[in-house]
């Protein structure tokens, strides 16, 4: 097995490493005479109170054996260039539905990287196919309790999975899933549904087979394939119709009833797109089992509604108490200060969430009549009109469609339009460029309903946003769409 070199990038001041004269550029070779594959080996081996560290010095090339006594789980105080201490594992599949294959040329390189790494599933919530994992990898997941592991199943029909993933080994993963389940490793599953391929009877089969992995497999989300306009030369796929969506929901609801009766869980969940396409109401909050699949857009709109209503009600109560205190202090006398200024704002979002945000805007305007809110659904010209999520809206589409419009006092955009940790859209347009082009302040809103309430009423002060990664690999281990 190829092993990465673990070269120290930085040493924390006052740490054990600094006391022992570890320096940037030194190479960590072994701990307790054990080789180190990645960050999980490192953390596991460093957790003891007594450890022996074999180090190769940068300048002299000498090998130092350091005997270290410390508190259990006390950090050594060194960091490495990669958060994994290893290279990312790229995807070996050529899935017929892969969104990365549907992106235009000329975008930043990281957007084209296809990861399929179980370690990123644990650290970042990424979904993996298990096709590039061997028994050693499964052993490590079990040993280190790397859970939950998120798995892209697509289908449990081995022959069909080979076809969908275009990988002759794709149908051989289910013994691995069985091992994980028998070891009690918590898993979540995903099925990307393609019309006429893994829906209908194949979807019934997949849910039935996956049901046998309960309770270790706690949830399975069913999401419709995303189809961009850049599909020339790719496998022919068609969008789902309203009738298709209703049939998918009927299958899911039958299995939810069975799972709820037997396990107290709904187990299989439909992403929000299915309900909107079918013209059906979103399920109630208790149907989502604690929102295990938010990353796949399962229950995100319901959660936003609930959080928004709760935050709006709390704000109204607080303002009522403030008004009572003011009346008591002024003894009912007229207080100078003039009429309150009207606040006008625009909320930009994708077509998918527009209806929900319009509903929330009406609630906010009823609570605060001095506020006017316009919700603007941005059509995705860049990827094509079949892409309706806000997380794939580009800066250029936002600018082009809002240019010249009266946007009011501020433009609100959801944080998932931006790259994780930066004010940059998928097409490298920056928030600052949007501000300059549209001549309006831009407020980036976090996913929580409370943050949207504060942003609407001009009370948002925290500029730190938890932007989510989507279709892009970066060297981060702390990431969290409508």
Residues 182-229: pLDDT tens digits?
999 999 999 999 999 999 999 999 999 999 999 999 999 999 999 999
Q: Which strands sit side by side in the sheet containing 343-350, from one edge to the other?
A: 371-378, 343-350, 410-414, 442-445
Position 408 pLDDT exceeds 60: yes
| Chain centroid to CA 445 | 15
Q: Do 129 and 278 fall within a single domain?
A: yes
Q: Do 382 and 264 fall within a single domain?
A: no
Q: CB 322: neighbour CB atoms within 10 A? A: 10
The pLDDT score that the predictor gives to residue 321 is 73
What's the average model confidence in pLDDT over 43-64? 89
The pLDDT score that the predictor gives to residue 120 is 53
Q: What angle is formed at CA 153 by the lines to CA 251 and CA 482, rounded to 5 degrees?
A: 70
The pLDDT score that the predictor gives to residue 64 is 92
Q: What distance in Å separates the CA atoms of residue 29 and residue 27, rounded to the nearest whole number?
A: 6
Q: Do 146 and 264 fall within a single domain?
A: yes
Q: Do 271 and 310 fall within a single domain?
A: no
Position 470 pLDDT exceeds 50: no
- Write the pLDDT tens digit of every residue in 69-116: 988 878 898 888 776 666 666 667 788 888 888 888 877 766 655 555
What's the average model confidence in pLDDT over 251-258? 97
Let me know if residue 88 belongs to a domain. no
- Write the pLDDT tens digit of every residue in 7-20: 898 999 999 999 99
What's the predicted TM-score (pTM) here? 0.79
Let me know if residue 148 belongs to a domain. yes
Position 466 pLDDT exceeds 90: no
Query: In whole angstroms, how far apart are CA 146 and each of 6, 70, 124, 214, 455?
Result: 21, 25, 12, 18, 37
- Of 6-10, 169-173, 350-354, 467-471, the one with minimum mean pLDDT is 467-471
Q: Do 135 and 195 fall within a single domain?
A: yes
DSSP result, 107-149: S-GGGG--B--HHHHHHH--EE-STT--HHHHHHHHHHT--PE
The pLDDT score that the predictor gives to residue 111 is 63
The pLDDT score that the predictor gives to residue 112 is 54
Position 441 pLDDT exceeds 90: yes
Q: Do 363 and 388 fall within a single domain?
A: yes
Which carries the bigger pLDDT value, residue 321 or residue 75?
75
Q: Do 387 and 447 fall within a single domain?
A: yes
The pLDDT score that the predictor gives to residue 360 is 96
Q: Do 379 and 276 fall within a single domain?
A: no
Let me know if residue 420 belongs to a domain. yes
- Write the pLDDT tens digit of every residue in 359-404: 999 999 999 999 999 999 999 999 999 999 998 999 999 999 999 9
Residue span of the structural domain in which 133 resides: 100-297
Position 35 pLDDT exceeds 90: no
Let me know if residue 168 belongs to a domain. yes
Do residues 437 and 352 lie in contact, with contact meaning Cβ atoms separated by under 8 Å?
Answer: no
Let me know if residue 475 belongs to a domain. no
Q: Please, which pLDDT band fits residue 338 given cuts at 50, 70 and 90?
A: low
Let me know if residue 172 belongs to a domain. yes
Going by C-beta distance under 8 Å and a sequence separation of 6 or more, which residues neighbour residue 261?
none
Total number of domains constituting the chain? 3
Q: Do 256 and 320 fall within a single domain?
A: no
Position 434 pLDDT exceeds 70: yes
Position 130 pLDDT exceeds 70: yes
Q: Give me the chain's average pLDDT, please.
A: 86
The enclosing domain of 111 has a CATH number of 3.20.20
Q: Please, which pLDDT band fits residue 47 given cuts at 50, 70 and 90?
A: confident
Position 133 pLDDT exceeds 70: yes
The pLDDT score that the predictor gives to residue 339 is 55
């Amino acid at each position: 097995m190829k092993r990465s070199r673990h070269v120290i990038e930085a040493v924390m001041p006052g740490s054990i490493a600094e006391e022992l004269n570890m320096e940037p550029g030194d190479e960590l070779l072994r701990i307790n005479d054990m080789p180190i594959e990645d960050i999980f080996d490192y953390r596991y081996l460093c957790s003891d109170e007594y450890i022996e560290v074999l180090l190769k010095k940068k300048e002299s090339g000498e090998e130092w054996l350091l005997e270290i006594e410390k508190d259990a789980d006390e950090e050594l105080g060194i960091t490495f260039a990669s958060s994994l201490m290893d290279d990312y594992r790229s995807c070996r599949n050529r899935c017929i539905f892969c969104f990365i294959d549907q992106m235009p040329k000329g975008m930043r390189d990281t957007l084209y990287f296809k990861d399929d790494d179980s370690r990123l599933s644990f650290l970042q919530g990424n979904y993996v196919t298990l096709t590039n994992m061997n028994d050693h990898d499964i052993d490590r997941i079990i040993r280190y309790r790397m859970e939950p592991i998120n798995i892209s199943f697509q289908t449990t029909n081995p022959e069909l999975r080979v076809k969908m993933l275009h990988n002759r080994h794709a149908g051989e993963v289910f013994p691995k899933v069985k091992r994980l389940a028998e070891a009690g490793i918590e898993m979540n599953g995903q099925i990307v549904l393609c019309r006429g391929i893994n829906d209908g009877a194949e979807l019934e089969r997949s849910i039935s087979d996956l049901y046998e992995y309960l309770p270790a497999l706690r949830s399975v989300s069913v999401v419709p394939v995303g189809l961009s306009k850049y599909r020339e030369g790719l496998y022919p796929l068609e969008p789902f119709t309203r009738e298709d969506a209703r049939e998918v929901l009927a299958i899911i609801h039958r299995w939810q009833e069975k799972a709820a009766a037997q396990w107290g869980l709904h187990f299989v969940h439909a992403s929000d797109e299915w309900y909107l396409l079918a013209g059906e109401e979103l399920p109630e909050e208790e149907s989502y089992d604690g929102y295990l699949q938010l990353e796949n857009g399962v229950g995100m709109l319901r959660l936003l509604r609930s959080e928004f209503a709760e935050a709006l009600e709390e704000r109204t109560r607080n303002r009522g108490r403030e008004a009572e205190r003011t009346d008591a202090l002024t003894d009912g006398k007229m207080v100078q200060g003039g009429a309150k200024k009207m606040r006008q704002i625009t909320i930009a979002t994708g077509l998918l969430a527009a209806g929900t945000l319009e509903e929330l805007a009406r609630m906010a305007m009823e609570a605060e009549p001095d506020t006017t809110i316009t919700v603007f659904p941005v059509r995705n010209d860049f990827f094509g009109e079949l892409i309706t999520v806000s997380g794939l809206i580009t800066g250029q589409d936002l600018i082009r469609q809002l240019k010249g419009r009266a946007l009011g006092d501020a433009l609100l955009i959801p944080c998932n339009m931006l790259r994780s940790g930066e004010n940059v859209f998928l097409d490298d347009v920056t928030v600052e460029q949007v501000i300059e082009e549209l001549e309006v302040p831009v407020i980036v809103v976090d996913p929580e309903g409370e943050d949207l309430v504060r942003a609407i009423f001009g009370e948002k002060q925290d500029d730190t946003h938890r932007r989510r990664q989507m279709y892009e690999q970066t060297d981060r281990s702390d990431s969290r769409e409508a």
